[in-house]
Amino acid sequence: MEKKKKGVSVFDVILTIGLGIICITCVLPFIHLLAVSFSSSSAVAAGRVGFWPVEFTAASYEYVITGGRFLHAMGISIERVILGTLLNIVLMVLTAYPLAKEDLPFRGILSGFFVLTMLIGGGMIPTYLLVSGLGLKDTIWALILPGALPVYNMIILMNFIRGLPHELEEAAWIDGASPFRTLWSVIFPLLGPSLATVGLFSMVGHWNDWFAGMIYMSDPMNYPLQTYLQTLLVDFEKLLQSDTTGNIQDILSKMNARTGRAAQLFLGALPIMMVYPFLQRYFTKGLTLGSVKG
Amino acid sequence: MNKKKKGIASYWQYYLMLIPGVIVTFIFSYIPLYGVIIAFEKYNVGLGFSSPWVGMENFRYLFSQPTFTRTITNTLFISVWKLALGVVVPVTIAILLNEMRSEKLKRFYQTLIYIPNFLSWIIMAGVLMDILASTGAINVILMKLGFHSVDFLGNAKIFPWTMIISDVWKGFGYGTIVYLAALTGIDPALYESAMLDGATRWQQIKNVTIPLLMPTIILMTVLSLGSVLNAGFDQIYNLYSPAVWETGDVIDTYVYRLGIQQAQYSVGAAVGLFKSLVSAILVVVSYRLADKLAGYRIL
Amino acid sequence: MHKNFRKGAALLLSAACLTGCMSKPASPTGGNESARVEPPADIWAPYEETVTVTTMGEENSGTEFQGDDDYGNNPWYRAYKERFNINLVNKWISNDYGTKLNLAIADKDIADVFYVDSARLTTLYEAGLIMNLDEVFDSYASDVLKGYRKDYADTWETGEFDGHLYGMPQMSYGIIDQFQYIWIRQDWMKECGFEEPKTMDDVIKIATTFAEKYGGYALPECQTLENLFRLALSWGAHPDIWVKKDDGTIEYGTIQPEMKEALAQYAEWYKEGIINPNFTTLNWDKMMQGMINGECGVIPFAQWFGYNPLPDLIKNQGADAIFYPYEIPTQDGSPIKGSVTFNNNGYVVIRKDCPNPEAIMKIVNFYVYTVNDAVGKETNEYLSSLHSFNYPNCVRGTRIINPMNDYNQYIQVKDAFDRYQAGEDVDTSALGTNLSKYESCVNWVTSQDPNGVGDFLQQGNDRSAYGIAKKYVDEKQYVQDAKWGPDTPTLQAAGSTLKDILVEGFTKIIIGEKPIDYFDELVEQWKTAGGAKATEEINEIYGD
């Protein structure tokens, strides 16, 4: 076999190049975006920008950074990601561990209690009325509490805990450790890769969510980053649909916004693109966890 | 372990751990369920939940609306294609990646294709609007090649395909990695014996790889059946326009427009309930199927 | 509405002139209103103690905030505080106003004053959440505002339930911007020695000569058949609006026999190669791209051709490539009649339990004051501080627009510009908020600044679009949409599908895929697809 594998056939070349092209399509748009964000608006309007900046300028980034709004929104997003992910992890671990106990009385009913919420919901308006009634509107908790326990990820974690060897846990019991103590000093250290996976899913989820920010925040200044970016999209959409009713002068002046928008989109994507390669192996592990048999 | 089986009392610490999760879930997932009542009422904001009861009237109205029935067709069209291509594309790429000799390049490729998966649809919508615009990169290339420019987001005939392909493009990295993981689990001895039998690479793929990948394929397909009514709200909402409602309006965007933007609270709630029920049935059925066909159990 | 229209125009004009001429150093608190206002001695008086009023608003990226200004602190909000001791506070500001508003309504957590569309006006009325404004309007509305209600009674009635006022219509900038023209490229016209077209044949002659001489095609068009719908006015058709027939019934303009005639001629032109043969592949943007590239010198279009695409066209083709608007000639030589649609920006509503509805009337009055009788009473700087940088967007929920706004603006700008052209002194301080329009016109003629050509062609001179449209307004040369209000349920549900059936079918007729009599078949299709039901509803709601 070793011998056979050494020869590089035409097939291998085509394969490598073909896959290479497919893979590159996954990043080309972002390279294009980057090029647009660093180009002059007239070059962009004339469609002269491909994958390299034309008439290089960092004006868009200057505008974005000094404008304040972008960084402020990013700060809110970061706050949300930290608080939200921590809360998610605490609640997921606390819930998954007991549910992983096969002999826990009423385990079936309790599991059902959680699983059912994945199947049916009350809809947006009752949820909104609830959040509003609890006085959470305009606080970061409106973005965090309603999704504080991601049930699907909790189940992934639970299945992982069930797959752990029982011996360590039993040793702890014999030493007289309480369930809390066991969870903290025995189980928790073993959760590494799975916790990293579900934790990262939480992070990405919190970072990418735009909807909650839009409906629960009264002041656009308090929008998290993705919600703020969404307002830019809406403006762009209005621009595309512009017809006789719009104020044409306004719209024309916004044409130059394309480079600025590209810069903001790129900066919005950047944290994830930077974090991701380092955590890739956890994701890979985490994805296969879902198919761990119970 | 049986010796540990004592009365419920000895489990009190476990129940204590569950309390925060139960409370949060009860408050934010169960209390809002009272909202389904709206679907059976002619909801008047002033009267609140004691609005006049109309029974199934909202549902009858809904199904008489061509704008609603078309959302079902649109949803099914878009999501079935997304499902199908969402299996075929990652399986193909995974098999091809698996054939690659260089481990380093393979890992690099994996990294690239997985990137779009983690970006929000807000970012992706921004990118797509930019490159698909009439003056955007794709149309510039098309025209240089001598084709007509294509209105990817504004033409009702093309819009669903723009959604399908961009979604598959964004998400195929995820599936690819799952299938690759399954492929690395295949015993190399099987390939060796195939090679001894003089099988070509294509024959190896056909006779060894694909059959062994089948359980994972079936599992992934079945599990995604449950979400067949989710054609992708974040994606479509951020990219569609009235010009493409005819083919691009899906159940979720319809609920949103009707229930939230147009304040037809009752009808919006009725659509939501209808979708929830159908989805719940689909999820239950698909997990049963997954158990039967692939021995997969979620609990 | 027509009967009142001229009266209204005259009234407002004379009011503007009157106050402008009486250079009284009065402030708005000066109690200059007539005795018609009865009990509250002075509707302009400030409060002794600060009154706080809440509102909800829409984020608008067009607003160019200066310095530390924002949605909660801007010239308007400061003016309310200074003049009336009213503190206007935003409950929230959103870029998705409709969504946030509906959630707020569901939550019964609404501000004291805000604006809504007609559907939500009904929801709020039925839910008993908004105030009957009869009393507060009678006592506190300024005379000019009451004048609006009288002059545009049919629009104000759409804000009433059982004869009681619940939502004050925010009106629009006026019908003068709704007319259609034929725009013709001037350098080519001069070169070929053409005069103003008097008949449609003249238009076609000009267009085809251009195409022969300069390449391209004679008439542009795109998938949505914009230009057919504009030119159809020549045949007396009124597509897209609902027309009242002689027998009092209301029918849809696009399916009338006049439209069939227009379509037949249009298909003939297509066959002769007059219409751009590729139009079925072009969306609006693409069609405009062709104009910018100089492929065509004649186009039927609205008054804003000078804003888009003309500046780009001029940058591309030079300043001589300017287009001028001309009247669309009719088939029988009678005066052309445009189509005028219901155009209302929304309704101002007041929360039922609002403790200070009169404070809101003061705020509303103040906006009306700044666009009518304030010129001359207030300094130019003061008025433009309120109206520049799109600041009026900040008071989207509390303003009522002057329906004669654009009409008056045209008269002022043209008058000043005429004087400038004649070398006379121009008192720019009298222009108030219209100063920038005037300056754009000057910039165009002095330096051919492409950004000024839009204002120049819209209102800078007699040959401008508003110059033509003023006559239409004065002479009532228009047909008003019989659907003077919001869409009916069937129309709302149908969205654009009903029109799409017709546009698709018309296209087939134009390109010769179907004969002209296919029109009748289309009408039937349109009726069964919901058109018949919509017509029924329209007659029920808007009929006599």
Q: What is the pLDDT of residues B21-43, one digit of tens each?
A: 999 999 999 999 888 888 899 88
Mean pLDDT of C448-462: 88
Q: How far apart are CA C345 and CA C170, in angstroms?
A: 5
The per-residue pLDDT for C27 is 36
DSSP class of C327 = P
pLDDT exceeds 50 at position C366: yes
Contact C59 A220 (CB under 8 A): yes
pLDDT exceeds 60 at position A135: yes
Indicate if B206 and B90 belong to the same structural domain.
Answer: yes
Percent of chain C with pLDDT over 90: 58
Mean pLDDT of B5-12: 68
Mean pLDDT of B46-68: 85
Percent of chain C with pLDDT over 70: 92
Indicate if A139 and A229 belong to the same structural domain.
Answer: yes
Q: What is the pLDDT of residues B201-248, one digit of tens each?
A: 888 888 888 888 888 888 788 778 778 888 888 899 888 876 688 888
* SS3 at position C329: coil
Q: Is the Cβ of B263 closer than 8 Å to some Cβ of chain C?
A: yes
Indicate if A46 and A118 belong to the same structural domain.
Answer: no
Helix, strand, coil % in chain A, rounded to nearest 5? 75, 0, 25
**Domains with residue ranges and CATH for chain C:** 2-174+345-395 (3.40.190.10), 177-340+473-542 (3.40.190.10)
User: Does residue B53 fall inside a structural domain?
Assistant: no
pLDDT exceeds 90 at position C488: no
Q: Are C133 and C166 in contact (CB under 8 A)?
A: yes
Q: Is the Cβ of B243 closer than 8 Å to some Cβ of chain C?
A: yes
The per-residue pLDDT for C544 is 76
Contact A1 B192 (CB under 8 A): yes
Indicate if A33 and A73 belong to the same structural domain.
Answer: no
Which of A54, B238, A245, A209 has its CA nearest to residue C343? A245
The per-residue pLDDT for A234 is 65
| More confidently predicted of A42 and B40 | B40
Q: How far apart are CA A267 and CA A261, in angstroms?
A: 10
Indicate if A98 and A240 belong to the same structural domain.
Answer: yes
| More confidently predicted of C60 and B29 | B29
Q: What's the number of domains chain B is made of?
A: 2
Complex ipTM > 0.85: no
pLDDT exceeds 80 at position A190: yes
Mean pLDDT of A25-48: 78
What is the DSSP annotation of C487-502?
Answer: PPHHHHHHTTHHHHHH
Q: Are B156 and B243 in contact (CB under 8 A)?
A: yes
pLDDT exceeds 80 at position B47: yes
Q: What is the pLDDT of residues A252-261, one digit of tens each?
A: 344 456 677 7
Q: What is the pLDDT of residues B110-161, one digit of tens each?
A: 888 888 888 888 888 888 887 887 767 888 888 889 888 788 887 888 999 9
CATH number at residue B290: 1.10.3720.10
| More confidently predicted of C367 and C24 | C367
Contact B109 A18 (CB under 8 A): no
Domain span holding position A8: 1-57
Give the 3-state DSSP-derived string for A241-267, with helices as H, strands as E and coil as C.
CCCCCCCHHHHHHHCCHHHHHHHHHHH
Hey, what's the torsion of the CAs at C19, C25, C29, C31, to 10 degrees? -60
The lowest-confidence range among A15-19, B10-14, C323-327, C430-434 is C430-434
| More confidently predicted of C482 and A293 | C482
pLDDT exceeds 90 at position C76: yes
Q: Which residue in chain A is spatially nearest to C437 when comparing CA positions?
A: A249
Q: What is the pLDDT of residues A93-121, one digit of tens each?
A: 999 999 988 888 888 899 889 988 887 77
Indicate if B6 and B154 belong to the same structural domain.
Answer: no
What is the distance in angstroms between the Cα of A40 and the nearest Cα belonging to chain C? 17
Q: How far is CA A208 from CA A70, A222, A276, B224, B227, in A?
A: 15, 16, 14, 22, 20
| More confidently predicted of C33 and C360 | C360
Indicate if B16 and B87 belong to the same structural domain.
Answer: no
Pairing of strands C242-244, C323-326: unpaired
For residue B116, say if its preceding peptide bond is cis, omega within 30 degrees of 0: no
Contact C95 A231 (CB under 8 A): yes
Contact B238 A230 (CB under 8 A): yes
Indicate if B149 and B218 belong to the same structural domain.
Answer: yes
Contacts of C497 in chain B (CB under 8 A): 66, 246
Indicate if B129 and B209 belong to the same structural domain.
Answer: yes
Residue that the structure tokens 């708005």 belong to: C28
Indicate if A138 and A276 belong to the same structural domain.
Answer: yes
What is the distance in angstroms between the Cα of C42 and the nearest Cα belonging to chain A? 36
Q: How far apart are CA B117 and CA A204, in angstroms?
A: 10
The per-residue pLDDT for C174 is 84
Indicate if A264 and A156 belong to the same structural domain.
Answer: yes
Indicate if A274 and A232 belong to the same structural domain.
Answer: yes
User: Does residue B119 fall inside a structural domain?
Assistant: yes
The lowest-confidence range among A235-244, B290-299, C17-26, C197-206 is C17-26
Q: Mean pLDDT across chain C, nearest whole number?
A: 87
Q: Is the Cβ of A175 closer than 8 Å to some Cβ of chain B?
A: no
Indicate if A35 and A50 belong to the same structural domain.
Answer: yes
Q: Is the Cβ of B31 closer than 8 Å to some Cβ of chain A?
A: yes
Indicate if A23 and A68 belong to the same structural domain.
Answer: no
Which of B83, B96, B123 has its CA nearest to residue B231? B83
User: Does residue B86 fall inside a structural domain?
Assistant: yes
| More confidently predicted of B184 and C237 | C237
Mean pLDDT of B187-207: 85
The per-residue pLDDT for C436 is 82
- Cross-strand partners of C478: C338
* SS3 at position C375: strand
Among A115-119, A130-134, B272-276, the range of highest mean pLDDT? A130-134
Indicate if B19 and B120 belong to the same structural domain.
Answer: no
Indicate if A159 and A283 belong to the same structural domain.
Answer: yes
Q: How far apart are CA C208 and CA B145, in angstroms?
A: 32
The per-residue pLDDT for C426 is 85
| More confidently predicted of C233 and A38 | C233
pLDDT exceeds 90 at position C250: yes
| More confidently predicted of B7 and B218 | B218
Of B5, B20, B102, the CB nearest to A91: B20
Indicate if A70 and A26 belong to the same structural domain.
Answer: no
User: Does residue B18 fall inside a structural domain?
Assistant: yes
Mean pLDDT of A204-230: 88
The lowest-confidence range among A169-178, B41-50, B258-267, C165-174 is B258-267
pLDDT exceeds 90 at position C351: yes
Q: How far apart are CA A16 and CA C40, in angstroms?
A: 85
Which of C183, C207, C469, C443 has its CA nearest to residue C306? C183
pLDDT exceeds 50 at position C25: no
pLDDT exceeds 80 at position A59: no
Mean pLDDT of A44-69: 74
The per-residue pLDDT for B299 is 63
Q: How far is CA C392 from CA B60, B226, C169, C401, C440, in A?
A: 45, 49, 17, 10, 20
Indicate if B116 and B220 belong to the same structural domain.
Answer: yes
Residues in chain A: 294
Of B242, B245, B261, the CB nearest to C98: B261
Q: Mean pLDDT across chain B, nearest whole number?
A: 84
User: Does residue A131 fall inside a structural domain?
Assistant: yes
User: Does residue A92 fall inside a structural domain?
Assistant: yes
Q: Are A101 and A182 in contact (CB under 8 A)?
A: no
Q: What is the pLDDT of residues C373-389, one digit of tens each?
A: 887 788 888 888 898 88
The per-residue pLDDT for A68 is 66
User: Does residue A294 fall inside a structural domain?
Assistant: no
The per-residue pLDDT for A192 is 77
Q: How far apart are CA C539 and CA C544, in angstroms?
A: 8
pLDDT exceeds 80 at position C312: yes
Indicate if B29 and B71 belong to the same structural domain.
Answer: no
Mean pLDDT of C233-249: 94
The per-residue pLDDT for A286 is 58
Q: Are B224 and B232 in contact (CB under 8 A)?
A: no
- Cross-strand partners of C92: C56
Indicate if A197 and A52 belong to the same structural domain.
Answer: no
The torsion angles phi and psi of C231, rounded to 5 degrees, stand at: -65, -25
Give the Cα-Cα-Cα angle B66, B67, B70 (nearest 5 degrees): 80
- HSE-up (13 A, CA, CB side) for residue C147: 25
pLDDT exceeds 80 at position C496: no
The per-residue pLDDT for B6 is 56
User: Does residue A193 fall inside a structural domain?
Assistant: yes
Contact C493 B65 (CB under 8 A): yes
- HSE-up (13 A, CA, CB side) for residue C486: 20
Indicate if B74 and B149 belong to the same structural domain.
Answer: yes
Q: How far apart are CA C227 and CA B107, in angstroms?
A: 56
Cβ–Cβ pairs < 8 A, chains A and C: 56
pLDDT exceeds 50 at position A195: yes
Q: Is the Cβ of B65 closer than 8 Å to some Cβ of chain C?
A: yes
The per-residue pLDDT for C10 is 38
Pairing of strands C168-169, C347-350: antiparallel
User: Does residue B44 fall inside a structural domain?
Assistant: no
pLDDT exceeds 90 at position A143: yes
CATH number at residue A122: 1.10.3720.10
User: Does residue B195 fall inside a structural domain?
Assistant: yes
The per-residue pLDDT for C40 is 66
Q: What's the number of domains chain A is made of?
A: 2
> Any residues with CB less than 8 A from the CB of B214 and at least 6 apart, and which?
none
Q: Is the Cβ of B274 closer than 8 Å to some Cβ of chain C?
A: no
pLDDT exceeds 60 at position A262: yes
Quick one: angle between helices A107-119 and A69-100, nearest 10?
Answer: 150
Contact C308 A250 (CB under 8 A): no
Compute and round to an integer the Cα radius of gyration of chain A.
Answer: 25
pLDDT exceeds 80 at position A250: no
Indicate if B14 and B121 belong to the same structural domain.
Answer: no
DSSP class of B294 = H
Give the C-side interface with B, CB within 8 Å. 98-99, 102-103, 105-106, 108, 119-120, 123-124, 126-129, 281, 283, 285-286, 289, 493-497, 500
pLDDT exceeds 70 at position C4: no
Domain span holding position B185: 66-294
The per-residue pLDDT for A263 is 81
